[in-house]
């Protein structure tokens, strides 16, 4: 039998073993999902809203259990895991209240007696999701897709299959009809076969660049819509007129929350030369105070990374960067899946920590002399997910917005997702948008209707 293991990265012990679905089971699930779509697409917004509101209630009532499951499967500190469940419930609230208005017919004056644009669901949509936010990444896709009248299939990361099944059970417990949302326990090698099934109409992926490229190619062969949310190497640009204490706290949170395992984490700290030494010294002191340890403890901020191999990869990136002349300010040590909160200064654009995405608790620091150099350094990346700019000069910040090659610009705040705003990137960070009105329209048929008497 083909099994996937869920291993607690803190204890090293096996949480559970899951038998993967075989091709016959997958084909049957797709067929049943398609059959359910024929019913679900004709349900009223009011009925959909009721189901999604029930999901939010279920999430809130069982948030401690869901949070603990995340902590066991991928090491997320428990307080951050609880916050993730609460954010999923907020997402449900948002789309329950706004989806109908976002998808209403849009009447357009033309030469016709009547002309308007309709938004109709596509059908069965496959989602391929990563382990770092095991609930949020899934809900970010599933809730708007369901509110639009689609049905969803989930191919989750194999180390969080427990979360995948818990999400499916949450939806069923909330009264969502069976096969409106179904978890497929499959490996990456089965994805192309799913996309070849004519009943599957589109795919969305959050993950690495290579995975996104492979899925986009497979979807392209079938002429199917795809949305990709891939890696990021967000810059945090700190001007010399910033509110230093506030900026320090935000930068530490932006880099080290979720043990640094986030595509939208601030990964490259760009400091104005005039405040470089002072800011760096205070930053190191704050990082030194971050509590690492048992992720089930509410006081823990840094847990283990999700897998030992990921910690080893980060360790290598840091070592290679130091070998090229950068300076280790704090951290740099690994014990199994634990990697110390790390700060590396004197990083230049040719070094691995600047060039590559660092997926873990390690921050690289680079100085700049003037604003144009800061913008250039920020854009010197194959990624384009987001950038943070810290300054008291809001007018200047607003003037800089068009110069950044990013999907988002945040001023005096870390880059984050919000149900009310579109989320996504450009360049090798992917294409398409999630969340907001833009996100719910990614998987609909925008149908023009033109009527003359």
What is the per-residue DSSP string for 9-50?
TTT--EEEEEEPPPHHHHHHHHHHHHHHHHHHTTS-HHHHHH
Average pLDDT of the chain to the nearest whole number: 98
Alpha carbons 66 and 167: distance in angstroms, whole number: 9
Average pLDDT value for residue range 279-295? 98
What is the per-residue DSSP string for 116-153?
EEEEEE-SEEEEEE-SSSTTHHHHHHHHHHHHTT-EEE
- 442, β-bridge pairs: none
Average pLDDT value for residue range 161-175? 97
Encode pLDDT of 392-417 as tens digits. Answer: 999 999 999 999 999 999 999 999 99
Number of Cβ within 10 Å of residue 210's Cβ equals 10
pTM, to two decimals: 0.97
Encode pLDDT of 86-132 as tens digits. Answer: 999 999 999 999 999 999 999 999 999 999 999 999 999 999 999 99
Q: Which residues are catalytic?
A: 229, 263
| Strands (DSSP E) found in 252-398 | 266-272, 327-330, 334-335, 338-339, 342-345, 362-368, 383-384, 387-390
Closest alpha carbon to 284 in 255, 317, 324: 255
Encode pLDDT of 24-54 as tens digits. Answer: 999 999 999 999 999 999 999 999 999 999 9
Residue 154 CB contacts under 8 Å (≥ 6 apart), including other chains: 127, 129, 138, 142, 164, 167, 168, 181, 182, 183, 184
Residue 293 CB contacts under 8 Å (≥ 6 apart), including other chains: 300, 302, 303
**Residue 2 confidence (pLDDT):** 85
- 156, β-bridge pairs: 129
CA angle 298, 282, 241 (to 5 degrees): 115
Percent of the chain scoring above 90 in pLDDT: 100
Residue 245 CB contacts under 8 Å (≥ 6 apart), including other chains: none
Cβ contact 203:226 at 8 Å? yes
Residue 296 CB contacts under 8 Å (≥ 6 apart), including other chains: 10, 68, 71, 78
Cβ contact 131:155 at 8 Å? no
Cβ contact 61:159 at 8 Å? no
Reported as a pLDDT band with limits 50, 70 and 90, residue 183 is very high
- 292, β-bridge pairs: 302
Scanning 265-370, the segments in alpha helix (DSSP H) are 276-288, 308-323, 352-355
Run of H or E including 6 = strand 3-7
* Domain edges within the chain: 3-230+429-451, 234-419
DSSP state of 324: T
Does domain 3-230+429-451 fall under CATH 2.130.10.10? My reply is no
**Residue 72 confidence (pLDDT):** 98
Number of Cβ within 10 Å of residue 377's Cβ equals 19
**One fold for 3-230+429-451 and 234-419:** no
Encode pLDDT of 136-166 as tens digits. Answer: 999 999 999 999 999 999 999 999 999 999 9
208-to-358, 367, 430 alpha-carbon distances in Å: 12, 28, 10
- 327, β-bridge pairs: 345
Closest alpha carbon to 25 in 2, 41, 5, 46: 2
What is the per-residue DSSP string for 81-110?
HHHHHHHHHHHHHHHHHHHHHHTS-EE--S
- 152, β-bridge pairs: 125, 181
Encode pLDDT of 305-335 as tens digits. Answer: 999 999 999 999 999 999 999 999 999 999 9
Average pLDDT value for residue range 281-286? 98
**Residue 1 confidence (pLDDT):** 55
Does domain 234-419 fall under CATH 3.40.309.10? My reply is yes
């Amino acid at each position: 039998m083909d099994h996937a293991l869920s291993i607690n990265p803190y204890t090293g012990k096996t949480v559970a073993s899951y038998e993967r679905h075989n091709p016959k089971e997958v084909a049957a699930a797709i067929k049943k999902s398609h059959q359910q779509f024929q019913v679900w697409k004709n349900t009223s917004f009011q009925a959909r809203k009721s189901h999604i509101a029930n999901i939010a209630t279920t999430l809130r009532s069982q948030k401690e259990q869901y949070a603990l499951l995340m902590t066991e499967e991928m090491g997320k500190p428990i307080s951050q895991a609880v916050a993730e469940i609460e954010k999923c419930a907020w997402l449900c609230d948002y789309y329950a209240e706004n989806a109908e208005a976002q998808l209403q017919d849009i009447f357009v004056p033309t030469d016709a007696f009547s002309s308007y644009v309709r938004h109709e669901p596509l059908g069965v949509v496959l989602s391929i999701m990563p382990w770092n936010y095991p609930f949020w990444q899934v809900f970010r896709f599933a809730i708007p897709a369901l509110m639009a009248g689609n049905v969803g299939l989930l191919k989750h990361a194999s180390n969080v299959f427990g979360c995948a099944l818990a999400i499916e059970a949450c939806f069923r417990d909330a009264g969502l009809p069976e096969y409106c949302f179904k978890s497929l326990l499959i490996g990456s090698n089965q994805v192309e076969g799913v996309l070849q099934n004519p009943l599957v109409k589109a795919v969305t992926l959050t993950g690495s660049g290579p995975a996104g490229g492979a899925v986009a190619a497979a979807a392209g062969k079938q002429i199917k819509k795809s949305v990709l949310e891939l890696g990021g190497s967000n810059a945090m640009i700190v001007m010399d007129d910033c509110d230093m204490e506030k900026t320090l706290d935000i930068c530490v949170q932006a880099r080290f929350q979720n043990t640094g395992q986030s595509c939208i984490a601030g990964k490259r700290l760009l400091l104005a030369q005039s405040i470089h030494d002072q800011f760096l010294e205070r930053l190191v002191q704050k990082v030194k105070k971050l509590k690492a340890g048992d992720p089930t403890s509410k006081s823990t901020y840094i847990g283990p990374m999700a897998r030992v191999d990921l910690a080893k990869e980060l360790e290598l990136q840091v070592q290679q960067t130091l070998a090229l002349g950068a300076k280790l300010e704090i951290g740099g040590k690994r014990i199994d899946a634990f990697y110390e909160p790390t700060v590396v200064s004197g990083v230049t654009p040719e070094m691995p920590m600047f060039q590559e995405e660092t997926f873990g608790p390690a921050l690289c620091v680079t100085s700049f002399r003037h604003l144009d150099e800061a913008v250039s350094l920020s854009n010197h990346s194959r990624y384009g997910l987001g950038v943070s700019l810290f300054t008291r000069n809001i007018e200047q910040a607003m003037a800089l917005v068009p110069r950044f090659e990013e999907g988002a610009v945040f001023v005096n705040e870390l880059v984050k997702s919000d149900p009310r705003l579109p989320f996504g990137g450009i360049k090798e960070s992917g294409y398409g948008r999630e969340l907001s009105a833009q996100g719910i329209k990614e998987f609909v048929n925008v149908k023009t209707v033109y009527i003359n008497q």
